[in-house]
């Protein structure tokens, strides 16, 4: 299969995943297993773990940037693959937590409340936008279209880094209100 045919196939998969993942997360976010009659304990230990995974993702992304700036393509590829795996692990834990626990309401007041919601809303919106960007960036590299890869990576990197870092910030801001 030539690169054009492969790219067309991958773009269909990327489009599907870019739609399915946010819809599945939104749907599963509204499912509470305990309310459905399942005997499950809230997975209260997960938020600090998945926040740490977000932090690790941010560090790995910066390391991947440093690796490519130093000409180490192999390390760059390995680090970005690891960052994708971290993001997937985060997603599974995030869904598992929200399926077993009630949503936590932010209890801060005044300016900090607006700061929190600004960070949270931009984090959520960009976490949806970053899905196709990450997948397209990765695909371009796998198809050895490094010119296109570099061009899209310049947009993907800061958004992905923002999502990873703000995930940690949101955790620290909401964690005092967990029950």
Give per-residue pLDDT as tens, 24-34: 988 887 788 87
Backbone angles phi, psi at 65, to 5 degrees: -65, -45
Q: Which strand (E) or helix (H) includes residue 62?
A: helix 46-69
pTM of the model: 0.91
Residue 57 CA to chain centroid, in angstroms? 9
Residue holding tokens 């970053």? 130
How far are the Cα atoms of 63, 115, 129 from residue 81, in angstroms, in the given order?
12, 32, 19
pLDDT number for residue 131:
97
Residue pLDDT, tens place only, 91-140: 999 999 988 888 889 999 999 999 999 999 999 999 999 999 999 999 99
Residue 90 has pLDDT above 90, yes or no: yes
Helix (H) or strand (E) holding 29, with range, is helix 3-29
Q: Where do the structural domains in the chain lie, given as residue ranges?
A: 3-177
CATH class of 3-177: mainly alpha
**Bigger pLDDT: 150 or 29?**
150
Q: What is the pLDDT of residues 112-123, one digit of tens each?
A: 999 999 999 999
Q: How far apart are CA 156 and CA 150, in angstroms?
A: 10
pLDDT in tens, 41-89: 888 899 999 999 999 999 999 999 999 999 999 999 999 999 999 999 9
User: What is the reported pLDDT for 31?
Assistant: 84
């Amino acid at each position: 299969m030539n690169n054009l045919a492969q790219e067309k196939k991958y773009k269909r998969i990327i489009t599907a995943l870019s739609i399915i993942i946010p819809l599945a997360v939104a749907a599963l976010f509204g499912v509470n297993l305990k309310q459905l009659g399942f005997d499950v304990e809230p997975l209260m230990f997960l938020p600090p773990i998945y926040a740490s995974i977000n932090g690790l993702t941010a560090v790995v992304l910066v390391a991947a940037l440093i690796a490519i700036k130093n000409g180490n393509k192999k390390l760059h590829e390995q680090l970005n693959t690891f960052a994708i795996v971290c993001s997937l692990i985060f997603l599974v834990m995030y869904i598992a937590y929200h399926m077993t626990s009630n949503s936590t309401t932010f209890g801060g007041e005044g300016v900090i409340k607006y700061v929190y919601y600004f960070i949270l809303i931009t984090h959520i919106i960009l976490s949806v936008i970053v899905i196709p960007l990450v997948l397209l960036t990765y695909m371009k590299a796998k198809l050895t279209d490094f010119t296109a890869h570099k061009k899209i990576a310049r947009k993907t990197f800061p958004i992905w880094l923002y999502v990873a870092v703000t995930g940690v910030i949101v955790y620290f801001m909401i964690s005092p209100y967990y029950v």
